A and B are shown apart, each in its own frame.
Chain A
């Protein structure tokens, strides 16, 4: 099955109001969403007796210990039984029937209920934890071998944020990441890219690299200009299915000795810019998350991994990144009701003019572009691009206070 390019919208038919799958979860079950957001397949493992359990609970079903950890688990199993659901009282599933579900015995032990994608009874299946439209982690059983058009399956399409047939706005297409990002999006089947150009009046450096490409149109757009954003949103806002915020203002320097003019520019672009962008384009996107094949799907922003814990050499910039990360978290809460995914792509130092004197490893624009598109294809919410970002995130998750001392050298 492959997904056809959607026809032009019939303007006489009401746009479907977004509905969501059931979203209530226990505190323990929220752990599934945390893992799904990062694209990890993990289950609760008992620290005492080693039992692997599903569904998530507050205590181990085997020994009653409350010492449970989420750990990466072998993602394979066998499909025991399947059913095609033809009727449902739930508005979200009613609109998407029939829907296939089944029970899978995991090789790790437990039997889980899973959404089915292209698998049948008796098959060995590969399991994925995915975020559904309600932002909750759900089990998906799919063939062991990934196939190109797997993501076209209605089950994954309903949950996911795949760029195929979607129209994508890149907020600042003069950034080094823009050209490889456009190429990767097109290769993933994107329908059209709106390339935002800040200060188009001065033909900024970087603009030439994205001019004259097929299915790419240039749009004057500056995340510091409220009125300009309003103008752009009133022209193309109804056609933006995915919004990728690439606008970044970086100046090296800490807090002492770094002047607040540069820090203000960083805040204006990186934190407030994201806020303005979401305010301008978010409402129309939130209204179109159930609008057929090219329903709006996601808002993405690039963050430095040092949003989690600052590198003092880029202290003021990192303050703006921490602020932007906080904006991302609030946007997630605010768009949850519409089912609009808010994805953060964390990167280490990028290979550009502002990190030029730094030694490698640095993240190449191409690698960053690939991470963004992969995150979209798999419907992730938290993407860590490159070894530096992954390592930083891991250490941060283990012990943020320790990480701070590791980076800063432990203060005086």
Chain B
């Protein structure tokens, strides 16, 4: 039996499970909120073109309005100024083989429950590696915080001094880059912490990852259903010419049992 036949069998049987790591796109799903004088991320909007009516008797369809970074989405290297010159840095240029790969999940949920500004540090990554082995080159690394269970205002967690949500420190990202990861993903609205503007460099996940040609995933959910290692992530963004990112469906193949 070929490897793909085995895969099909495993998916049809009870060896592999497909876990959906995606939030539904709806008008009320939180998006990044910037100061009002900046350009804003378009909210998800859906307008009926027809609904089996005089506008189109047998069919229903919608026009959508959204940003490349609305909902569960992918960040390409050219999203950030540090990655602007990266070759093949737009979503349409990323080689297809980069869009499926192994995934490591670092569980920070206990800490994030206690501290809204919980930081993923090199020490936490090193401890994880002692337990599960070194992060392999080409792996996605996801930071589990269970933040995806929060809704609305609690999800953005905006205060007068800006949003408060967990994220990686600059050194944590540097350590992940030394492992040559494929990309980094979170449950929050961005790959960076809510207070990420105050690190050096500001927004280290965006700045360092994309500057090194790596990818980002954010607004993920169901990370609690993934094992620390051994799952495979399928995360292909829409093929938007020159796109800096894209909403997408993120799936994980997870061994059952």
Contacts and interface: CB of A to CB of B under 8 A. Distances in A.
B30 to A, nearest CB: 6
Nearest to B151: A201
A201 B45 contact: no
B46 A202 contact: no
Interface stretch (B152-160, B165-173, B212-220, B222-230): B152-160
Contacts of A262: 39
B153 A203 contact: yes
Interface in B5-54: 27-28, 30, 33, 36, 39-40, 43, 45-48
Contact of A202 (B27, B45, B47, B158): B158
A222 B36 CA distance: 17
A227 B30 CA distance: 17
Contacts of A203: 152-153
A226 B152 contact: no
Contact of A227 (B27, B36, B156): B27
A224 interface: yes
A226 B46 contact: yes
Interface in A210-243: 220, 222, 224-228
A225 B45 contact: yes
A398 interface: no
B151 A226 contact: no
A259 B39 CA distance: 9
Contacts of A259: 39
Nearest to B46: A227
Size range of the interface on A? 10 to 19
B40 A202 contact: no
B27 A225 contact: yes
A201 B43 contact: no
Contacts, number: 38
Contacts of A224: 43, 45
B39 A201 contact: no
B43 A202 contact: no
Interface in A313-338: none
A202 B152 contact: yes
Nearest to A265: B40
Contacts of B33: 202
A261 interface: yes
Q: Which size class do B's interface residues fall under?
A: 10 to 19
A222 B47 CA distance: 13
A358 to B, nearest CB: 16
B45 A226 contact: yes
Interface in B106-155: 151-153
B47 A201 contact: no
B27 A228 contact: yes
Interface in A48-67: none
Given A259-B39, A261-B39, A262-B39, A201 B46 contact: no
B67 to A, nearest CB: 10
A259 to B, nearest CB: 7
Interface in A182-226: 199-203, 220, 222, 224-226
Interface in A255-304: 259, 261-262, 265
Contact of A226 (B40, B43, B47): B47
Contacts of B151: 201
A372 to B, nearest CB: 24
B40 A201 contact: no
Interface string B149-191: 0011100101000000000000000000000000000000000
A259 B40 CA distance: 12
Contacts of A261: 39-40
Contacts of A201: 28, 30, 151-153
Nearest to A225: B27
A7 B33 CA distance: 45
Contacts of A200: 28, 152
A124 B98 CA distance: 88
Contacts of B27: 222, 225, 227-228
Contacts of B36: 353
Nearest to A222: B27
A112 B40 CA distance: 58
From A201, A226, A259, residue with most partner B Cβ within 10 Å: A201
A172 to B, nearest CB: 15
Nearest to B26: A227
Contact of B48 (A220, A222, A225, A226): A226
Contacts of A202: 30, 33, 152-153, 156, 158
A227 B27 CA distance: 9
Interface of A: 199-203, 220, 222, 224-228, 259, 261-262, 265, 353
5 contacts: A199-B28, A201-B28, A202-B152, A202-B158, A226-B46
Interface of B: 27-28, 30, 33, 36, 39-40, 43, 45-48, 151-153, 156, 158
Given A200-B28, A202-B33, 11 more contacts: A200-B152, A201-B151, A201-B152, A202-B153, A203-B152, A203-B153, A222-B27, A225-B27, A226-B48, A227-B27, A261-B39
**Top 3 A-B pairs, shortest CB-CB distance:** A201-B152, A203-B153, A225-B27
